[in-house]
Structure 1
């Protein structure tokens, strides 16, 4: 098969052959199979050996931003159909063509789904850090339903509405910090959005916590891939019966992951053996760093950390072309392959900027991904999803203390063309000397860098 970066090897073959991890297809609600939606990598985590690496999320793999946004809108259409008890009409083969890299397919998928839709009165919650932009895209597909994502960043002046635990994660504390708690205290459907449903325990914890604060009649679980088994699905039904509510689930693909009994031992052994050479280094060069003023629209939050309303979306849509033009002007002559890199939870703003840049500059090959807290082994092999790794110190004074952060598949890999420009989109809280000394020093060893800073909603800067 052909994957979005143009290679003809499934980026999970390496892990399958060494760990014995196997993907088994289930339902294909929009035609795409599980293996076309994800690759595999090895975690640096003693509790879970494998990582599903999404081909459409734009977190670990630089991806056409129109494919990322179109996939989120497509998931939102499935949610819309479930909320209205209607059958959704998805153009046949549209996602499959986009995943296969058919020219123009990603933009066509996005264009078919971004037409204005009637407003759906719902609350959409996305999970940090991975699904912050995905949840936002689902809310966009619902006509701009109220959106909030969880956060691992406490913010002064915002009281926590609630919290929940993502039990398998390397960083488990989540907070809900709405600027208007009343926006959550409504008996309207709640849509919980994550990149994958493995056991579903995280969403069950969330529903229990939310329902105890404000009972609601309908919840929808939305994920790019659904890997739950029969017992996991039974727990959802049991919770719905106990709470007296309805809980539905939708996904773009479904199936299961089969793991051998010794997968943790094998994974730990591989990480130990290969860690020494898995972090990419620069070649001694130092390209320039330029900064641009995006002139972010007044009153529009940088994302959904404290809530995002339909009027915010309308204002952002109006100004996206102008901001993309400012980025394009700074790239200069000779740019051909551009990465727009977001900052951990700050995924939606860089995604939409990357999408607008790709639309405005058809001669550019624009890709989008973000930095992450997630520690993953890098192996430069076409059958492995995480080819290169940049490691750098956290640069936003995180509440849980200093730590290492990562940017994957940004440095060149064998057989892949390098990026000749990198645009780093960061909020003002993360735009620190630590950024300059850490990540920017790593990036400018690869290509000229443009830094675009957006004002963090609620910050004092």
Structure 2
């Protein structure tokens, strides 16, 4: 296959030759902080009949490893868009500093200022890619604000569960768990956060669901990439009129895309299990806020309350940071290598990324994902390497971790929200060892 070429023009159009059989073009229409598109995303092919490619974020730590502060700074820039919407004072020098960090991808000691929200607000991050992004946005506000993230976990308990679908996704079923109905009542603004919107239908699905049970006055949709067509934007206007609400859509980059060709069918690697499982160090950490519920299969299970799956407010923020610092400094003493990867799992991203911030230098973060992506080992292609393994809690559901090259890291810290034994994910552990990773640590939290 030929190399992917990127061509730019004065009209902010760019063409990406992804594979010989697939090319993608984009037109940038709005770029409020002048972020270079190549610093925001790459492009890769995927096996999905609804869209044969994906924009692979370089900011959220999902498919591509990033420095721990990158998702947090991205959250600050998105929070600044909300601040601008609400007429709050913003620090332009801080915004420029944040934009420069994202543009260069460099390390820094960035301290983001907090915005005092005027009124009451609820922030909701979409699973699985935007759980950490949504939390990072919320973390930049003080006042009467709350945060939830949606989940694909099939949990039952005392909470009210809202169901909706993510139409374009390979795993479309989503849930929003309302443990305290006061957080969805009398909000001046409800903010939905995702890394990308294409048609925007997912946001409309959850807004329609919310309006039936917990009507809101005003919504904002916050996203890194806004690819809605003119037709989709018109549909939003009709939707506002139908429900009698106001919806603002804010992004770091707005534009449109087109593509030619299709991606090849993805052959997912088999998961062979050898007899010998490499040695794994396991560290079990307790955090103060846990939620007891019933997991899929009807078994009792505990989850971390600090993640936001069941809701958090600003009073939880300082405690979360303190716990992350305590655990991060402890794990830093366990490091044996100079190049370390801290790996979140599925929806469990924000807390691992916070912890990694306190683990010293030469640390990168990313997370596992359920998204199957076509691999191509070429320098400018977004997804080159893959490990496949079965979800330890959901038999038959494959998970992937991308872009771990051979002999890149000396050690990996894997963060599991609930306890996982190495033999439950043996192919994953074996694959890490085969990539030259000598020191493997599982960090677990809940039973």
Please say if 1:25 is aligned against 2:20: no
In 2: Cα distance, 1:301 partner to 1:445 partner: 35
1:96-245 → structure 2 map (5 Å cutoff): 96-101=99-104, 103-104=106-107, 107-108=108-109, 110-111=110-111, 113=112, 115-119=113-117, 121-143=120-142, 145-245=145-245
TM-score under structure 2 length normalisation: 0.86
Distance 2:64 2:151 in 1: 22
Going from structure 1 to structure 2, the CA distance change for 1:99 and 1:157 (only over 3 Å counts) comes to same
Q: CA deviation at 1:142?
A: 1.9
SS of equivalent to 2:32: coil
Identify if the C-alpha distance between structure 1 residues 283 and 18 changes in structure 2 by more than 3 Å, giving closer, same or farther.
farther
**Separation in 1, partners of 2:275, 2:377:** 20
Report the RMSD for the aligned CA atoms in angstroms.
Answer: 2.9
Q: 1:86 to 1:95 in 2, by over 3 A?
A: closer
1:404 and 2:402 equivalent?
no
Task: From the superposition, tell whether residues 444 and 285 of structure 1 become closer, same or farther in structure 2 (CA, over 3 Å).
Answer: farther
Partner of 2:418: 428
CA drift at 1:379: 1.1
If the length of structure 1 is used for normalisation, what is the TM-score? Answer: 0.83
Question: In the TM superposition, what whole-angstrom CA distance separates every residue of 1:5-24 from its partner, at most 9, and x where no partner exists?
Answer: xxx999x9551664121122
Q: What 5-or-longer segments of structure 1 have no aligned partner?
A: 1-7, 456-460
* Equivalent residue runs for 1:290-439 within 5 Å: 290-298=281-289, 301-332=305-336, 335-357=337-359, 361=360, 364-396=361-393, 398=394, 401-412=395-406, 418-428=408-418, 431-432=420-421, 435-439=424-428
Distance 1:141 1:17, change over 3 A: farther
Contact 2:278 2:430 in 1 (8 A): no
Cα distance in 2 for residues equivalent to 1:185 and 1:103: 41
Task: Report the Cα distance in structure 2 between the residues aligned to 1:279 and 1:258, rounded to whole angstroms.
Answer: 33
How far off its partner does 1:246 sit?
A: 1.1
**Structure 2: distance between partners of 1:172 and 1:187:** 27
Which has the larger share of helix? 1
Determine the C-alpha separation between the residues in 1 that align with 2:280 and 2:56. 30
Secondary structure of 1:444's aligned partner: helix
Query: Which of 396, 419, 443 is the equivalent residue of 2:432?
Result: 443
Is 1:56 the equivalent of 2:59?
A: yes
Q: Distance in 1 between matches of 2:398 and 2:130?
A: 20
Q: 1:154 to 1:103 in 2, by over 3 A?
A: closer
**Unpaired runs of 5+ in structure 2?**
8-14, 291-303
- Number of residues of Structure 1 aligned to a counterpart in Structure 2: 420
Choose 43-52 or 177-186, whichever is displaced more. 177-186
